[in-house]
């Protein structure tokens, strides 16, 4: 599940099975093993009280997606409430960066001054090449093994599974698109088995070096005989002449890798150009990072040092565990969005008519920016402003929160503007009239945004309700 996953990127699910249900069921079965393992090793431990769940998520997850993950964890019986404080989120590139930092510790020991790969106050990039997505982050190594984020996290859909997709396209050209569609609709398990055979026999071993490469005989009768019944007569006749064998040449296989690898190289180039600091090393992690051809292409483009650490496929999960044990490792993050609230002010010439306040025509709604995209924010750093309720008699006030990728947005109906949620508070002190001042704050903590409000006159903090827009 991704917060912004296009419909065509979502995996096919059986009829009436939602993504949320599939995730909850998967987590429930995983949770059974987790609880069983914990109970056998630590007797008397209370799961909901003593166990912290660290959930690594893609960099592109927004707060709605994180809220869905909380709901799925609760539905799976891994927490005793959706708002449990025993859940911590970390992004996959962040977790991978922590794992890579642990690998740097050996290189950066004080007794090895000539072998410091990434000195303190120098930066390194982590390219997390997973199955579906590739996520990138650039971090600065600080003293005492702290990490600072110096660029916005970036990513795209170009992981290892996209090589598999190109393989299916290759088969479609040989056997017909309709043939593959029928196999997908009626025998999805057979399609997956065929992809597994492709991976184990070809994909995992491809180095990109034509020397010594021999054309591979992909035997349909042996690997996926059911395909034969979906072929039309013309294709059947041709394939029977070839004994149902499809030959995969070097250039065929290379062309299956190149679209995804080309995207990864462009992502790395974009990360490098977004920072003025020298990048001392590029770490490749994730399952797809083990591809020798991917490693070769990245080294050709960017030169050394390109590093694939030990067990790169486990980098995210091991880094997430380190994060849970030492959450002070991350000292700041770079915001991907501009955050602000919708407020009313007196109308000015040129204000859009669509933003006029209906019940007060002399007022206009505008976007009041609290913090701008690209800002480096420390853990629990607060951004605040003070507001006065427009009606001295009103007994409540709401703060609609909006986000945008733009730096200088003015109104909440501009392209790219997204409603994030709404904070509502009570205002019982009507007798203070226009002298009431409310301090509204956004606090950027551990990947989850906290919104608070405080009455400046009395010092009283109000109980708030944060509603996500589903």
DSSP letters spanning 80-137: SSTT-TTEEEEEHHHHHHHHHHHHHHHHT-TT-GGG-SS-TT-EEEEEEE-SS-EEEE
Contact (Cβ atoms closer than 8 angstroms) between residue 141 and residue 104: yes
Strands 338-346 and 363-371: what pairing?
antiparallel
Q: What share of the chain in percent tops pLDDT 90?
A: 53
DSSP symbol at 461 = B
Q: Tell which phi-psi region holds residue 44, choosing left (phi > 0), alpha (psi between -120 and 50) or beta.
A: left
Q: What gap in Å lies between CA 66 and CA 2, rounded to an integer?
A: 9
Given pLDDT bands bounded at 50, 70 and 90, which one contains residue 115?
Answer: low
CA dist list (Å): 350 to 108, 195, 347, 397: 58, 59, 9, 27
CA nearest to 330, candidates 141, 150, 147? 147
**Residues paired with 147 in a beta bridge:** 141, 330
pLDDT of residue 467: 41
* Cβ atoms < 10 Å from Cβ of 143: 7
pLDDT digits (tens, 9 = 90+) for 395-437: 788 899 999 999 999 999 999 999 988 888 777 766 566 667 8
Q: What gap in Å lies between CA 172 and CA 161, rounded to an integer?
A: 17
Given pLDDT bands bounded at 50, 70 and 90, which one contains residue 4?
Answer: low
Q: Taking every pair of C-alpha atoms in the chain, what is the biggest distance, in angstroms?
A: 92
Q: What angle do CA 255, 279, 160 make, to 5 degrees?
A: 25
- Which residue ranges make up each domain of the chain? 14-85, 94-327, 333-467
Given pLDDT bands bounded at 50, 70 and 90, which one contains residue 6?
Answer: low
**Mutual orientation of helices 250-273 and 161-175 as an angle, nearest 10°?**
140
**Mutual orientation of helices 177-186 and 188-201 as an angle, nearest 10°?**
110
Task: Share the mean pLDDT of the chain.
Answer: 87
pLDDT surpassing 70 at residue 110: no
| CATH for the stretch 94-327 | 3.30.420.40
Contact (Cβ atoms closer than 8 angstroms) between residue 266 and residue 154: no
Q: Which CATH superfamily is domain 333-467 in?
A: Substrate Binding Domain Of DNAk; Chain A, domain 1 (2.60.34.10)
Which residues touch 384 (CB under 8 Å, ≥6 apart)?
370, 439, 440, 441, 442
pLDDT of residue 389: 81
R_g of the chain computed on alpha carbons = 27
| Both tokens assigned to 44 | 């008397």
Mean pLDDT of 236-248: 95
pLDDT digits (tens, 9 = 90+) for 68-82: 999 999 999 999 998
- Of 24-33, 62-71, 307-316, least confident by mean pLDDT is 62-71
| Both tokens assigned to 447 | 């990947």
The distance in angstroms from the start CA to the end CA of the chain is 16
Alpha-helical runs (H) found in 202-345: 220-223, 233-241, 250-273, 292-302, 315-325
pLDDT surpassing 90 at residue 232: yes
């Amino acid at each position: 599940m991704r917060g912004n996953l296009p419909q065509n990127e979502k995996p096919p699910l059986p009829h009436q099975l939602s993504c949320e249900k599939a995730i909850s069921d998967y987590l429930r079965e995983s949770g059974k093993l987790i609880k069983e393992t914990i109970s056998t090793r630590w007797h008397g431990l209370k799961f909901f009280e003593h166990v912290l769940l660290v959930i690594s998520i893609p960099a592109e997850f927004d707060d709605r997606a994180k809220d869905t993950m909380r709901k799925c964890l609760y539905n799976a019986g891994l927490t005793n409430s959706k708002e449990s404080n025993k859940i911590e989120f970390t992004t996959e590139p962040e977790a991978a960066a922590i794992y890579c930092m642990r690998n740097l510790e050996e290189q950066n020991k004080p007794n090895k001054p000539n072998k410091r790969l990434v000195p303190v106050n120098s930066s390194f990039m982590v390219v997390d090449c997973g199955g579906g997505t590739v996520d990138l982050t650039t971090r600065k190594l600080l003293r005492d093994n702290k990490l600072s984020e110096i660029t916005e996290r970036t990513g795209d859909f170009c992981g290892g599974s996209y090589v598999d997709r190109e393989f299916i396209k290759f088969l479609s050209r040989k056997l017909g698109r309709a043939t593959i569609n029928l196999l997908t609709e009626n025998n999805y398990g057979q399609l997956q088995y065929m992809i597994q055979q492709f991976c184990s026999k070809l994909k995992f071993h491809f180095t990109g070096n034509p020397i010594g490469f021999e054309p591979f005989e992909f035997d349909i009768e042996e690997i996926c005989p059911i395909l034969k019944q979906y072929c039309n007569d013309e294709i059947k006749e041709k394939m029977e002449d070839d004994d149902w064998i499809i030959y995969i040449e070097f250039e065929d296989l290379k062309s299956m890798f190149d679209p995804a690898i080309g995207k990864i190289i462009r992502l790395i180039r974009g990360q490098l150009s977004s920072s003025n600091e020298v990048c001392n090393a590029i770490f490749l992690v994730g399952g797809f990072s083990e591809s020798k051809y991917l490693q070769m292409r990245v080294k050709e483009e960017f030169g050394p040092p390109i590093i694939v650490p030990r067990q790169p496929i486990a980098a995210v999960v091991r880094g997430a565990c380190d994060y849970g044990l030492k959450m002070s490792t991350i000292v700041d993050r770079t915001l991907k969005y501009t955050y602000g609230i919708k407020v009313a002010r007196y109308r000015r010439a040129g204000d859009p008519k669509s933003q006029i306040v209906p019940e007060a025509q002399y007022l206009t709604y505008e976007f009041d920016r609290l913090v701008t995209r690209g800002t480096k924010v420390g853990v629990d750093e607060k951004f605040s402003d003070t507001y006065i309720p427009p009606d001295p008699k009103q007994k409540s006030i709401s703060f609609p929160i909006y986000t945008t990728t733009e730096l200088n947005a003015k109104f909440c109906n501009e392209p790219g503007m997204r409603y994030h949620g709404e904070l509502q508070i009570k205002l019982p002190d009507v007798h203070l009239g226009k002298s009431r001042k409310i301090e509204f704050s956004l606090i950027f903590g551990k990947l989850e945004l906290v919104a608070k409000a405080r009455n400046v006159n009395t010092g009283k903090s109000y109980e708030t309700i944060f509603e996500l827009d589903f």
